[in-house]
Structure 1
Amino acid sequence: MALEIAADGIGQWVGQHVWPLFRIASFMMTIPFVGAALVPARIRLGLALLMTILIVPMIGDVPKVDALNANAVVITIQQVLIGAGLGFVLTALFQLFVIAGQMIAMQMGLGFASMVDPANGVNVPVLAQIYTITVTLLFLAMNGHLVAFEVFLESFRTIPIGPGGLGPDAYWELAHRITWMFVSAMLLALPAVTAVLIVNISFGVMTRAAPQMNIFSLGFPIGLIFGLFAIWVLHANFLPHFDEYTRQTFDFMRSIEQVP
């Protein structure tokens, strides 16, 4: 007895696996700890395929759309945008600390001490690289990657696969996340930046009072020492800040819903 499979059944089966794969693969390509250049694309694709196979039974039915139809192309683009958008939100959390490290390094005179970031392939100050390593280790030690995957898989319930997709408000909120990133980085770096600024102002007053004093030979090392001391003091509250920003990130990822 020959096994007969209808064309609609094949289209349903393919759509039920391909569309979640596009969303998961887009998410894998953009998140920091997996989407970095250090992780080969084959490994990311393999993880995306494995996650797709595991979660397909939990998704349920997907819209029955012909593979060559324009609606199928629209749904595919929407899945890519949803996965990339959620990954961008998580990337903003890590870049927040990179920007904060750059602000502090530039203010205290460590802007010239840069190194190549192997994850992104660009030159960043050493302090920003230290913050990146610290945040990554904290995120993995606190099982943040498991929570990130859990929140992402919840998107298949809050934003089901279909022609609806994200609305203009959701895209605007994703774009506005850049503002949150810079504001949070400024708040994180403000104590150290203020401390170094006070030292520079003090040396400016001293130079005005005693012009013969060489400000470059004294101000730079003392400003660097005060900057390192401010960083050491800030590390005492590094974990609470990281926990708060992580909670805000996951809450924002859960708040993104489908257009009504």
Structure 2
Amino acid sequence: MEFLGIAPDTVLSFLLTLFRVSIVLFMLPFYGGDTIPRSVKAALTLVVTLAFWPHLSLPGSAFPTHPVSIILMILGEAAMGLTLGLIVHFIFAAIQTGGQIVGFQMGFAMVNVIDPITGTSEAVTAHFLWMVAMLTFLTLGGHLYLLFAVTKSFELVPPGSLFITPAVAGRVLEFSGQMFILAVRIAAPIMVSLFLVDLGLALVSRAAPQMNVLFVGFPIKVGVGFFFLGLVFTIISNYMGRFIDQFLAIFDSLMRLAA
């Protein structure tokens, strides 16, 4: 029975696309931020769905008929969105963790700001590096790669056929471990430079005990830290570029393990 000249299979095919796009897209960075109004998210979801749907040709018969099957399908889509979102969030979390280490080393442990994405308090250097990473991600077209990954997911994992396997969980844990290694690599130049500053100040305090090293050392550490922080931008752009180049291959392997 058609309604307004639209066949039921067409409506169900559109709903299959809408479910995945709406769930997965809201779990990704930039698209699913809390700072974006819900009305804008809803409009973006409809626009993206209408752009994807004619090229996917999903059969309406693939839509589950039993309520339990529909719930399981939604849970599977949520698991896919969570997996994809975690892989992308790891690179930003690594940069934020590196910024947190840098802020502590520079003496900015008490200078915190509220992260508009997560609503948590973090060091000002961590938030600054996060903004730099996000701008680099958008400049390199990372948001377009995310949309391409969503379209690719329909080919690799049809709606309702995602299963979280131990292999997928192991890969996600592996990426989470790499997050801390990347954080140390990003913060390493500043950590070494500030260690040398502390070493120099210690030698000065031994040679001239009457000098107030704490009064002189704080602005020196801040100046040296900001100088090397500017050099870290190149490191961030290199890591972000490598991540974007390898993102589709990583996503492809995860989806093949999960399907």
TM-score when scaled to structure 1? 0.84
Q: Which residue in the other structure is 2:181 paired with?
A: 183
Gaps of 5+ in 2: none
Does residue 204 (structure 1) correspond to residue 220 (structure 2)? The answer is no
The alpha-carbon distance between structure 1 residues 221 and 156, as it changes in their structure 2 partners (threshold 3 A), is: same
Q: Which residue in the other structure is 1:125 paired with?
A: 123
Does residue 63 (structure 1) correspond to residue 62 (structure 2)? The answer is yes
Q: Which residue in the other structure is 1:52 paired with?
A: 49
Question: What is the 5 A alignment of 1:117-156?
Answer: 117-156=115-154
Structure-2 separation of matches of 1:179 and 1:218: 38
Deviation at 1:183, TM superposition (A): 1.5
AA partner of residue 83 (structure 1) = G
Q: Deviations over 1:167-225 (max 9, x none)?
A: 22113322432222222121111111111122213323443455444331122222222
Tell me, yes or no, if the aligned pair for 2:16 and 2:58 is still in contact at 8 Å: no
Tell me, yes or no, if the aligned pair for 2:77 and 2:159 is still in contact at 8 Å: yes
Structure-2 separation of matches of 1:4 and 1:113: 62
* Alignment size in residue pairs: 253
Question: What is the 5 A alignment of 1:1-260?
Answer: 3=1, 10=8, 15-57=12-54, 58-61=56-59, 63=62, 65-68=64-67, 70-208=68-206, 210-258=208-256, 259=258
Tell me, yes or no, if the aligned pair for 2:99 and 2:123 is still in contact at 8 Å: yes
The alpha-carbon distance between structure 1 residues 55 and 227, as it changes in their structure 2 partners (threshold 3 A), is: same
Tell me, yes or no, if the aligned pair for 2:205 and 2:213 is still in contact at 8 Å: yes
Structure-2 separation of matches of 1:86 and 1:134: 22
Q: Deviations over 1:149-182 (max 9, x none)?
A: 1122111111222344332211332243222222
AA partner of residue 64 (structure 2) = V
Structure-2 separation of matches of 1:76 and 1:19: 10
Gaps of 5+ in 1: none
Percent sequence identity over matched residues? 23
The alpha-carbon distance between structure 1 residues 185 and 15, as it changes in their structure 2 partners (threshold 3 A), is: farther
Match of 1:84, SS?
helix
Structure-2 separation of matches of 1:149 and 1:133: 21
Structure-2 separation of matches of 1:121 and 1:109: 23
- Larger deviation, residues 76-85 vs 233-242: 233-242
Structure-2 separation of matches of 1:43 and 1:66: 31
Tell me, yes or no, if the aligned pair for 1:104 and 1:189 is still in contact at 8 Å: yes
AA partner of residue 178 (structure 1) = S
CA root-mean-square deviation: 2.6
Structure-2 separation of matches of 1:179 and 1:101: 17
Structure-2 separation of matches of 1:236 and 1:49: 37
- Larger deviation, residues 59-68 vs 222-231: 59-68
